[in-house]
Amino acid sequence: MSVSEIVVDIKELNKKFGDIHAVKNVSFSIKKGEIFGLLGPNGSGKSTTIRMLCGVITPNSGKGTLFGYDLKKDIITESKRLIQLAEITGKENALAKTLSGGQKQRLALSCALIHKPKLLVLDEPTAGVDPVSRRQFWKTIVELSAQGVTVFITTHYMDEAEVCDRIGFIYRGDIIDIDTPEAFYEKSGFDNLEDIFISHELSNQQKTQLMSYKEMKSTLRDPKGKE
| Mean pLDDT score, 133-145 | 86
Q: What pTM did the predictor assign?
A: 0.72
Q: Environment class of residue 101 by beta-carbon count within 10 Å: exposed (0-12), middle (13-18) or buried (19+)? A: exposed
Give the tens place of pLDDT for each residue, 26-45.
999 999 999 999 998 888 99
- The CATH H-level (homologous superfamily) assignment of domain 31-44+116-219 is P-loop containing nucleotide triphosphate hydrolases (3.40.50.300)
Q: Break the chain into its structural domains and give their ranges.
A: 31-44+116-219
| pLDDT score for 217 | 78
Confidence of residue 220 (pLDDT cuts 50, 70, 90): confident
Quick check: 50 and 121 in contact, CB under 8 A? yes
* pLDDT score of 165 more than 70: yes
* Planar angle of CA 11, 14, 16, nearest 5 degrees: 170
Distance of CA 158 to the CA centre of its chain: 13
For 8-22, the pLDDT digits (tens) are 999 999 999 999 999
What pLDDT, in 10s, does the model give residues 186-197?
998 888 898 888
**Measured distance CA(110)–CA(112) in Å, rounded:** 5
In this predicted structure, what is the pLDDT of residue 112? 47
- The Cα 36–Cα 43 span in angstroms is 19
In this prediction, residue 118 carries a pLDDT of: 80
